[in-house]
Amino acid sequence: MPSRDPSESDGALVLRARNGDREAFSALVIRHQQRVWRVCRQYVGTDEADAAAQDTLVKAYTNLGSFDGRSAFTTWLTRIAINTSLDELRRRRREGLRVETCADEEEQDVLSEVADDMAGPLDRTIQRQAVDRLAVLERNLPERQREIFRLRFYAELELEEIAGALGVHVGTVKTQLHRAVHRLRAELGDAR
């Protein structure tokens, strides 16, 4: 069984994993796999997110020796997830495959699968329309704004983590996120 000691830091687990302790790495996977998958999903879409997340975690294991601890392990791992996802997108474009991103999947009625006992049929219809509208508008954001918006709200990364993973100043992240929210809110109009 993998180590499930929640008090053991990422750094301690990394040290053990570097020395070949697979249980320690398994504990790191349990701790971070959801975040990795959510990051990958923002870039490659649901169908490829699992494969990209697995590739990310295997790459992380084989490159643990290069983790110098200057950034948080989560930041380092997120950077690998982003690079792995972008590599996958480039490969698919190079091979002429369709690049399906997160936003392309919004044609399906995903909100109908969301249980919300508090909403009546009318409310749910309005909610569904609003969420669909958000998805469309989000797709039209400038690339960097869209990327940061998704990493912040869907992958649930902190602003500092996004800055570290993208290699930009945290002020840039704040500015881009602010512009994205402002633009979406303005364009959502009646949906808010």
Binding site for other proteins (CB under 8 A): 20, 22, 25-26, 29-30, 33-34, 37-38, 41, 46, 49-50, 53-54, 57-58, 61-62, 102, 110-111, 113-114, 127, 130-131, 134-135, 152-154, 156, 159, 174, 177-178, 180-182, 184-186, 188, 191-192
What whole-number distance in Å separates Cα of residue 146 and Cα of residue 130?
A: 18
Q: Tell me whether residue 26 or residue 71 sits nearer to other proteins (CB atom).
A: 26
CB of 37 to other proteins, least distance (A): 7
Residue in 77, 75, 72, 99 with CA at minimum distance from that of residue 87: 99
Q: Tell me whether residue 89 or residue 102 sits nearer to other proteins (CB atom).
A: 102
Residue in 71, 52, 60 with CA at minimum distance from that of residue 31: 60
CB of 124 to other proteins, least distance (A): 10
Q: Tell me whether residue 94 or residue 122 sits nearer to other proteins (CB atom).
A: 122
What would the two tokens of residue 123 be? Answer: 């409310």
Q: Tell me whether residue 89 or residue 180 sits nearer to other proteins (CB atom).
A: 180
The CB-side HSE value for 186 (13 A sphere, CA atoms) comes to 7
| One-letter amino acid of 74 | T
> Could you give the 3-state DSSP secondary structure of residue 20?
coil
Q: Tell me whether residue 86 or residue 188 sits nearer to other proteins (CB atom).
A: 188
CB of 72 to other proteins, least distance (A): 19
Q: How many helices (H) and strands (E) does the chain have?
A: 8, 0
CB of 159 to other proteins, least distance (A): 7
What whole-number distance in Å separates Cα of residue 81 and Cα of residue 96?
A: 22
CB of 42 to other proteins, least distance (A): 9
Do 170 and 127 contact (CB within 8 A), yes or no?
Answer: no
